[in-house]
Structure 1
């Protein structure tokens, strides 16, 4: 083969560049990871410290929703300005509570003092009744076993009551904030939506609307339920001759706001005071509370759920327990509306938007 016909030789392959080693886990990355962990921990601790603040904000939202609902009703019925209707709603609620305190405050205070004085005698009567049937020793043993837990619960309840009694500044803060929220709710709604990504604004707007309707419906139904429970308890205990029937009726109406647990707590002092009259009166008192509880569970509670949202009873019960553990006394009081809001948001955001399933819109048939 001649020099001219020899095929050209292929160019020599260039040596492959050595792969650069992955950056090591050096001091810079360690410092960055440490700062991220510290920042997350700090934010978590800050949120834990601000739990009471968040509950006060939610209480202001609930009270603002009450003012807003009443102001809307006054505006629709009278066609007066929105500001005047809001002022009338706030003044009306304050006047109702002030008038009730002036008319019945001294009587209720006397009855509450009667409850406090008669509870020890009632406990002695229960003990004597159990001893008569040979059950006293077993009950005392059970009481001794659970004595520490009861004492701890009583001390916590006392702390809750002290915190509630010293919370005048918190109440004023919540009241003023609620008035501002009810005065122009659209502004705060727009501000909240501006903080979200644009693709999430529509879903968030629908979720806020669902939560507002659910809260207003819950408040309407709960107000009716509390009034009915208080009136029936008052009338029934008065007919049975139980001391301090008015005070016990008021306690039952106020505690009706706590799902599942409230009626049980309200029934304990009533049954104990009934023992000061007779064991048979105590039995009839127990039956009275059971009948009112059945009325509340089978008629009043479905009415609340129809106006707001159908939250399963077990969810409400666990929500009360969880709210009490996390937020204390204030959490227990706000457990029902908080559960309604969370339940509605989960339905709208998770079930409807993410899963694409049909849901029942809060406050609508």
Structure 2
């Protein structure tokens, strides 16, 4: 009788042991993923740049009928040459503009403090501005340390660039590799999801390239007309910060408004109006273009993804938050909502095909 009870109890212990091993495996995999998250982000950054290289190479290949390798080499030279050429042509002027920003920020804080005194807003506001001035001065004084930190990250940048070239050289190879990791019945869904993610990234980069140029030109020109110091540098900051949804324009607007206070409070007010107008153009004209060719991600999702990625991974997380959110959103739509739940969806690649 006791032997029978022991035999019946044994499978129960086996199930507990199996579940324990499974839980430990899941926890271990999660821990390994978190500990390697920096590498994962670098791989994603390389993938994003590879999508850009591949898109330009595809255009060159169609227009010139050149072999894939030569078309890719031309695309890399074209894109890197454009970036290097811009910095070579305007580097000295931009460096002077950023030096002006650094030098005049303390004076801008003092001008704001004097204006608050004249308005009678009280000591708390002055203490807040004093603390902000101290923090900003500390950041500026540590610019050399930040430059060294950036220099130490050049190896990561080279790794990302080389990885992007390898990925763009034969994207079908890596696409097939990802698809073979799923069961045969799910290969069609996985292939479609990978294609949608790549299409979403291409559309996002096209839209953002246009948005960066338009925002930088409009902001720089507007600040120049208002007589704000370092208008070109501030315009460049505004354009580049447009990559970061919602938070970027606010960050870009703070130094512009502060420097405008060195001219007059009315100039600062008109600077705020300028940024609001530019953001209205960006939100009502440029953003729909981005969403038309990329993915219409809900604004709250983008906002919290930027904040969360920034808290978890710092600057690189903020920089990659938007494209990573787009990829995850597309995968959730295609794999979970459509394949598992059986609901109809429309992603960016479907909308583009319908228009064509």
TM over 0.5: yes
Aligned length: 350
Residue in structure 2 matched with residue 7 of structure 1 by the alignment: none
CA pair 67-358 structure 1, distance change in 2 beyond 3 A: same
Residue in structure 1 matching 2:244, options 258, 261, 269:
258
TM-score (norm 1): 0.87
Within the alignment, does 1:61 sit opposite 2:47 as a pair?
A: yes
In structure 2, what is the equivalent of residue 111 of structure 1? Answer: 97
Deviates more, 1:120-129 or 1:94-103: 94-103
Instruction: Between 33-42 and 283-292, report the one with greater CA deviation.
Output: 33-42
* TM-score when normalising by structure 2: 0.89
Residue among 235, 238, 243 paired with 2:229: 243
Match of residue 269 from structure 1: 255
Q: Which runs of 5+ in 1 are unaligned?
A: 1-14
CA RMSD, Structure 1 to Structure 2 (Å) = 3.1
Rg: which structure is higher? 1
1:34, distance to aligned residue in structure 2 (A): 6.3
Q: Is 2:86 the counterpart of 1:100? A: yes
Q: 1:183-222, aligned counterparts within 5 Å?
A: 183-222=169-208
Higher helix fraction (1 or 2): 2
Structure 2 counterpart of 1:362: 348
Is residue 2:115 matched to residue 1:129?
yes
C-alpha separation in 1, matches of 2:81 and 2:246 = 30
Q: Which runs of 5+ in 2 are unaligned?
A: 352-356
Deviations 1:90-147, CA, capped at 9 Å, x for gaps: 0011111111111110110111011011000000000000100101424135568999
The aligned residue for residue 335 of structure 1 is 321
- Shift of the 41–364 alpha-carbon distance from structure 1 to 2, 3 Å rule, reads closer
* Alpha-carbon spacing, 1:50–1:142, altered in 2? closer, same or farther (3 Å): same
What is the CA-CA distance between 1:40 and the residue it aligns to? Answer: 3.9
Q: Which residue of 1 aligns with 2:28?
A: 42
Q: Map Cα deviations across residues 188-214 of structure 1 (whole Å, 9 max, x no partner).
A: 011111111111111100100111111
Identify if the C-alpha distance between structure 1 residues 151 and 203 changes in structure 2 by more than 3 Å, giving closer, same or farther.
farther
